[in-house]
Amino acid sequence: MISVNDLKTGLTLELDNGLWTVVDFLHVKPGKGAAFVRTTLKHVETGRVVEKTFRAGEKVAKAMLERRDMQYLYKEGTGYVMMDLENYEQITLTQDQIGDGIKYLKENMNVSILLHDTKVVGCDIPSHVELEVVDTPPAEKGNTAQGGTKPATTETGAVVNVPFFVQNGDRIRIDTRTNEYLDRC
């Protein structure tokens, strides 16, 4: 149990028979009355976001999460097979368990899996990935004066806006948190 005064962004709590991640919090001390903590919480499994207010000093249960390093091996039907790097056990994750990072997932990529009581609650992929551009329109002469961008499809299917000089076959680095082009490799 921890006090709501010690909440931090990204902390996972056990509330109302579910796991909730703290997205935002604000300590409020009004002129009259007792202090309170206003939070924005996101349900780990469903993604639902709610606002909840706690009295200052109230105790909440902190979720005990285990992080395991795994390697993505291959896609099997609708599942994604991961291998634990310590004991070589394999598990299959669904698209919902992996989340938005699925469009950057490449074979033999190392990822971190979050577990709560042996149940997978999340998958963290690296913040930057290197992918090959498989389809992008050619740059048109005269279009480079303003430094614009064009869409490019990568080998995993992710679509990213890239500068005009990027061509098919180029390897680019992408920020997976913002889906932005970083540089050419």
Q: Is the pLDDT of residue 46 over 80?
A: no
Considering the domain architecture, whether residues 169 and 132 belong to the same structural domain is answered as: yes
Task: Determine if the pTM surpasses 0.85.
Answer: no
Q: How confident is the model at residue 146 (pLDDT cuts 50, 70, 90)?
A: low
Residues 122, 91: Cα–Cα separation, whole Å: 13
Considering the domain architecture, whether residues 8 and 56 belong to the same structural domain is answered as: yes
Amino acid 32: pLDDT: 85
Considering the domain architecture, whether residues 120 and 135 belong to the same structural domain is answered as: no
Mean pLDDT over each residue of the chain, to the nearest integer? 88
Pick from 62, 86, 114: which residue ends a domain?
A: 62
Find the helix or strand (DSSP H, E) in which 97 lies: helix 95-98
Q: Is the pLDDT of residue 20 over 80?
A: yes
E strands, 58-179, where? 59-62, 66-76, 79-84, 90-93, 110-116, 119-124, 128-135, 149-154, 159-163, 171-175
Amino acid 131: pLDDT: 93
Amino acid 177: pLDDT: 86
Pick from 62, 81, 98: which residue ends a domain?
A: 62
Amino acid 182: pLDDT: 92
Q: Which domain holds residue 87?
A: 66-124
Domains: count for the chain: 3
**CA 74 vs CA 100, 107, 154: distances in Å:** 17, 6, 18
Q: Give the CATH number, domain containing residue 158.
A: 2.40.50.140
User: Could you tell me the end-to-end alpha-carbon distance of the chain, in angstroms, rounded to an integer?
Assistant: 47
Residues 128, 20: Cα–Cα separation, whole Å: 26
Considering the domain architecture, whether residues 137 and 178 belong to the same structural domain is answered as: yes
Amino acid 64: pLDDT: 86
Residues 172, 125: Cα–Cα separation, whole Å: 17
Residues 185, 174: Cα–Cα separation, whole Å: 10
**CA 63 vs CA 66, 68, 70, 101, 122: distances in Å:** 10, 16, 21, 23, 13
Percent of the chain having pLDDT more than 70? 96
Pick from 34, 62, 90: which residue ends a domain?
A: 62
Residues 101, 157: Cα–Cα separation, whole Å: 12
Q: How confident is the model at residue 114 (pLDDT cuts 50, 70, 90)?
A: confident
Between residues 130 and 148, the one the model is more confident about: 130
Residue 4 φ/ψ, nearest 5 degrees: -65, -15
